[in-house]
Amino acid sequence: MKTIKTISKLTMLFAFVAFANTLLAGGNLKVNILPLTSETAVVAISSVDASNLQISIENENGEKVYYKETDAENKDYRKVFDFSNLERGDYKLSVTTNGLTTERNFSIDKNIAVGKEKSLIEPYFAYKNGVLRVSYLNFPEENVSLNFYANNDLVYSKEIGTKFNVTEGYDLSKLDKGSYSVVLSTDSKSYSYDLDLK
């Protein structure tokens, strides 16, 4: 198996363009939880562009207690939620549209307490002329790693750390032909990209 060569100069222009485009998308989705009573709250979602939304609520064990995909494209979505059937504890509301996810943690006890908004943008993968480019904005500042697999066998791994703007370029032209998976992992999520080298 030949080695994977990292590319630094090629990524500079790519990094700037991907960073600018993704940063603009980061402000496109806002999620608010506005408590009305100790058991009800308005979930208010706004987006710059009208789009379908995937809305989910998970408990502290990661189990989904609510999931909905909107039928119509929305710029503004509002719904009153009745949390009286939920146990006391911590929950996470996630809204996803067009590769962008915004999360809000909240807890139910005597009142509904709402945490800060956190945005997550899916990484950008591009493969052309033997070069793989990866860009990711690490809003939550979690540890990031990148792993390459061939037939479920690890062939290359890189610990990237907690830097905000992740931009990587790899010359894959000398790798053996075959199917590969590239997995970018954070402390809380993993994203994969499959490619066939011919």
Residue 37 banded pLDDT, cuts 50, 70, 90: very high
Instruction: Give the residue from 87, 120, 153 where a domain finishes.
Output: 120
pLDDT above 70: percentage of residues in the chain: 86
- Same domain for 59 and 130, yes or no, is no
Whether pLDDT at 8 is above 90: no
- Same domain for 102 and 169, yes or no, is no
Instruction: Compute the average pLDDT of residues 20-43.
Output: 76
Residue 60 banded pLDDT, cuts 50, 70, 90: very high
Pull the structure tokens for residue 191. Answer: 């994203």
pLDDT at 16: 42
User: Which strand (E) or helix (H) includes residue 49?
Assistant: strand 40-51
Q: Provide CB contacts within 8 A for 126, sequence distance 6+.
A: 14, 132, 133
Q: What angle do CA 191, 195, 198 make, to 5 degrees?
A: 170
Distance CA 110, CA 89 (A): 10
Note the pLDDT tens digit of each residue in 68-79. Answer: 998 888 789 999
- Same domain for 130 and 110, yes or no, is no
Higher pLDDT, 22 or 126: 126
Domain containing residue 58: 27-120
Residue 7 near residue 169 (C-beta atoms within 8 A): yes
User: Which strand (E) or helix (H) includes residue 126?
Assistant: strand 124-128
Higher pLDDT, 180 or 16: 180
pLDDT at 10: 40
Instruction: Compute the average pLDDT of residues 29-41.
Output: 93
Split into its structural domains, the chain has a count of 2
Q: Give the CATH number, domain containing residue 81.
A: 2.60.40.1930
Q: Provide CB contacts within 8 A for 155, sequence distance 6+.
A: 1, 4, 148, 149, 180
Q: What angle do CA 30, 98, 164 make, to 5 degrees?
A: 70
- Same domain for 113 and 44, yes or no, is yes
- Same domain for 44 and 99, yes or no, is yes
Q: Number of C-alpha atoms within 13 angstroms, CB side, residue 178?
A: 14
Instruction: Give the residue from 59, 90, 120 where a domain finishes.
Output: 120
Instruction: Give the residue from 95, 120, 145 where a domain finishes.
Output: 120
Pull the structure tokens for residue 100. Answer: 């962008």
Distance CA 176, CA 126 (A): 19
Number of H helices, E strands in the chain: 1, 16
Residue 162, classed as helix, strand or coil, is coil
Q: Give the CATH number, domain containing residue 167.
A: 2.60.40.3080
- Same domain for 58 and 114, yes or no, is yes
pLDDT at 160: 94
Q: Record the pTM.
A: 0.66
pLDDT at 9: 43
Place of tokens 């709250």: 41
- Same domain for 44 and 109, yes or no, is yes
Mean pLDDT value across the chain: 85
pLDDT above 90: percentage of residues in the chain: 59
